[in-house]
Amino acid sequence: MYLVTFILFVIIPLIRGEDYYEILGIKKSAGQDEIRRAFKKLAIVHHPDKNSDDPNAHDKFIRLTTAYEVLKDNDLRKKYDLYGENGLNDSNKKQTYHSWSYYQNSFIYEDDQHVINLEENDYFENVMNSDSSWFVNFYSPMCSHCHHLAPTWKEVAKLLDGIMKIAAVNCEYDRQLCYQVGIRAYPTLIHFKKNSQHGVHYTGEKSQEAIMRFALDKLNIHIPEISILQLELFLRNRIFTQRPILILICGDQQNCFTFDERLIVAATFDKLVDVKVFTCENDECHEKISFNTHAVYLPMHNASSWEPVFFNSMSDINALIEKLLEQLPDPRELTDNDFDIIKKTEFNVAWLICFYIGDMANLKDLNLQMKKFSINGANLGKINCGRNGQLCNKLGINRYPVWGMLKPGGAFELNHGKATNNDIIKFIQIGVKTTNIRALSAEEALSILQGDNENKVWFLDWYSPWCSPCIRFLSELRRASLEFDASIVRFGTIDCTIHTMLCHHHNIQHYPTAMLLNGSNTYQFTLQKTAVNIIQFINEKRNPSVVELTSENFNHKLAKKKSKVMWIVDYFASWCAPCQRLASEWIAVAKSLSSLSFVNVASVDCEAEASLCASQGIRSYPNIRMYPLGSEGLSKIALYNGQRDSLSILTWITKFFPKKVYDLNPTDYQRVLNSEYIWIVDFYLPQCWHCQKMEPEFAIAAQLLEKVKFGRINCNFYMHECAHIKVFPTLILYKPKQKRKNRNNIDNIRITATTAEAIRDEILELINFRMKHDEL
């Protein structure tokens, strides 16, 4: 009795102490997919309902569920990784669990190797405008039709592997996504053609035959028939071809593949091998073709030793596909030395490289898998990390096989997506394009951070491959990188799961963290994490329109302000979310006002300048203050409390400008028509959005043009004056009365520009050219 108690006492702490990753039997780098799969496997084995003889089953299961709940939530997982279990607010939130059948049934496609599980964070990126076509099953584990369809869907995925992407979205898991896509019933099957955004709902019967027929028809593949004469010429290598040829043999006496099977072969080797079909007449076929010949493979016309290859007695199309893959050239085995040479010399080609360890037995499959990628515009190589450990180490490779890409120009990146063919193909296609972004080795990162980067400017992204906002940000970063030449800014990524020390040392608190390094200056990227904002941020740093005020320049710039200038200042803290949203609007405000020399738009980072902000009495962020015209230094302040979009802020600021825009009534308007001056009139409706957008631009333009008078007419009030206006806003320029050709003809010209500077330019052009030529 004592003994038993003692043993229990020892065992329980042991169970409690076990690492969450160990409990689930996964690596630290495991993706969400892997986590769910591991959990499902364990859940149905260890569920207390199935282990009633184990008194610890309940505790163990709670422990398992807790591990899963933490690791599947990226925020909790991050805390757990940083601080262990103590980092979680384990205020003994009661962990509960469902019945055994729930776990058995709620993960329909997690185990399947052919069906791609899509989640909210990768759905749009993958499916929209994809280079392949997609067929997506939106399902709910609660719906019985969904369970009935599952075996069929898995089979379809297997049959269409490498041809069409067959996917599934669990709508219980990703409700928001399914709502957004407009799913009203389960299961809903939607097909997307290549490069399209809009899918077609499949409404046919939910049988394998019907679904396959639909999918194969969508492939749009035609397999040409060849004549006996053409066959003869092909077999003698007398026809010049761009690609190798596969001739499928059919005929009454032949064991020919079905029409659909032929389509699958052709689609699998699309752009790699041209597939044709030859039909033998009755018993008469070609002398070289026997009754069990399924196909003939013809290598490239100019191959060094040319010989047709006969594929006889193929058991099924998979056997044929495998045989055909064997004919295609093997990926090249590379050493670390080759890698360096390619990196330094081959600036025009991309290499897809598979890093592996192990023996040749595994490698055969890998070779076959790789060959399927050769259609995607990259050379193929493989590196044995057992033999080239130093290189693999340097590149941060810690699992096998893993795919990396050496891009044109020498940048290297690892694939963080899944190791499925589909994801790797996507990785290749993006990698070939984005040559200005690279994964940094510890060495490279250190030299950049220490500033010995030869005047190169770097945009750095610190991330972890398992954090899904990081993966999303990576794709935004790639898109932004396309906008800049490496001579202006380079993009580098630092994987904090590999470069742990480096990230610790630089005090990286959260992922992703991004910053721009230019010489000795570091600028934190605190805008919302989109490609557009990255581009705006970098352009702003290259060509600043917002003045950064610090304790060093504050006194001499703002505190000594003259009455002829105005300052508008955003006091912010980089951690505050509304400040982050404001930051990009603020840059837009500054850009709009940049042509006015009397306006200064500035910002103060109150985290870095705490005492400065305290001295100005800043207590909440963001805090927008204007130091208006007519006041000196800090003597007068106007506070802004409106909406924090650039339009609202700009409209507010322009109200403080010297008055140059006059509100016209009908009498004023008659004066305009008879005026000695050039007038420009804005006909507007207060409620129209484009009119509201025009208002500050018009006000700024008025400041830019000395000799032109600006007026506006509210067409809600003065319908008579606005009778000739069809769209709002309309800007009309009126020539001075004495310069009109004819008194009755009210010569007026519509201005089409919509921004202040463009309005100014258009008017100046009219004054300088058109009016002169008219002898006005």
State the residues that interact with ligand NAG by CB under 6 A. Answer: 89, 91, 300, 302, 457, 488-489, 518-519, 538, 541-542
Q: In what order do the strands lie in the sheet with 293-298?
A: 225-226, 274-280, 245-251, 293-298, 309-312
Angle at 153 between CA 148 and CA 158, to 5 degrees: 145
The size of the chain, in residues, is: 776
* Nearest approach, Cβ of residue 539 and ligand NAG (Å): 8
How many Å from the N-terminal Cα to the C-terminal Cα in the chain?
114
Number of other residues whose CB lies within 10 A of the CB of residue 146:
22
Contact 473, 463 (CB under 8 A): yes
Nearer to ligand NAG, 91 or 450 (CB): 91
* Nearest approach, Cβ of residue 346 and ligand NAG (Å): 16
* Nearest approach, Cβ of residue 443 and ligand NAG (Å): 23
3-state secondary structure of 714: strand
* Nearest approach, Cβ of residue 656 and ligand NAG (Å): 31
Q: Report the chain's C-alpha Rg in angstroms.
A: 34
Nearer to ligand NAG, 314 or 489 (CB): 489
- Chain-centroid distance, C-alpha 517: 23
User: Can you give the three-state secondary structure of 33-59, one letter per residue?
Assistant: HHHHHHHHHHHHHHCHHHCCCCCCHHH
* Nearest approach, Cβ of residue 541 and ligand NAG (Å): 4
* Nearest approach, Cβ of residue 421 and ligand NAG (Å): 24
* Nearest approach, Cβ of residue 549 and ligand NAG (Å): 18
3-state secondary structure of 278: strand
Nearer to ligand NAG, 457 or 699 (CB): 457
Backbone phi, then psi, for 147, in 5-degree steps?
-65, -35
Strands 379-384 and 402-406: unpaired
* Nearest approach, Cβ of residue 411 and ligand NAG (Å): 18
CA separation (Å) from 395 to 383, 411, 438?
Answer: 12, 12, 11
Nearer to ligand NAG, 6 or 83 (CB): 83
Interhelix angle 259-268/208-219, rounded to 10 degrees, is 50
* Nearest approach, Cβ of residue 387 and ligand NAG (Å): 29
- Chain-centroid distance, C-alpha 679: 48
* Nearest approach, Cβ of residue 461 and ligand NAG (Å): 15
Number of other residues whose CB lies within 10 A of the CB of residue 19:
12
Nearer to ligand NAG, 193 or 541 (CB): 541
Backbone phi, then psi, for 68, in 5-degree steps?
-65, -45
Contact 168, 136 (CB under 8 A): yes
Distance in angstroms (rounded) separating the CA atoms of residues 107 and 527: 37
Nearer to ligand NAG, 476 or 721 (CB): 476
Nearer to ligand NAG, 80 or 192 (CB): 80
Nearer to ligand NAG, 420 or 518 (CB): 518
Contact 335, 389 (CB under 8 A): no
Nearer to ligand NAG, 538 or 606 (CB): 538
* Nearest approach, Cβ of residue 303 and ligand NAG (Å): 6
Nearer to ligand NAG, 518 or 748 (CB): 518
> Tokens 């791609």 — which residue?
116
Angle at 688 between CA 684 and CA 691, to 5 degrees: 50
Bridge partners of 513, per DSSP, are 462
Nearer to ligand NAG, 79 or 737 (CB): 79
* Nearest approach, Cβ of residue 223 and ligand NAG (Å): 22
Distance in angstroms (rounded) separating the CA atoms of residues 231 and 285: 11
Distance in angstroms (rounded) separating the CA atoms of residues 434 and 490: 11
Nearer to ligand NAG, 78 or 147 (CB): 78
* Nearest approach, Cβ of residue 521 and ligand NAG (Å): 7
Contact 747, 735 (CB under 8 A): yes
**DSSP H or E run through 750:** strand 748-751
Bridge partners of 605, per DSSP, are 572
Nearer to ligand NAG, 518 or 594 (CB): 518
Nearer to ligand NAG, 208 or 518 (CB): 518
Q: What is the dihedral of CA 693, 696, 698, 701, to 10 degrees?
A: -130
Distance in angstroms (rounded) separating the CA atoms of residues 193 and 135: 9
Which amino acid, one-letter code, is at 556?
Answer: H
* Nearest approach, Cβ of residue 487 and ligand NAG (Å): 10
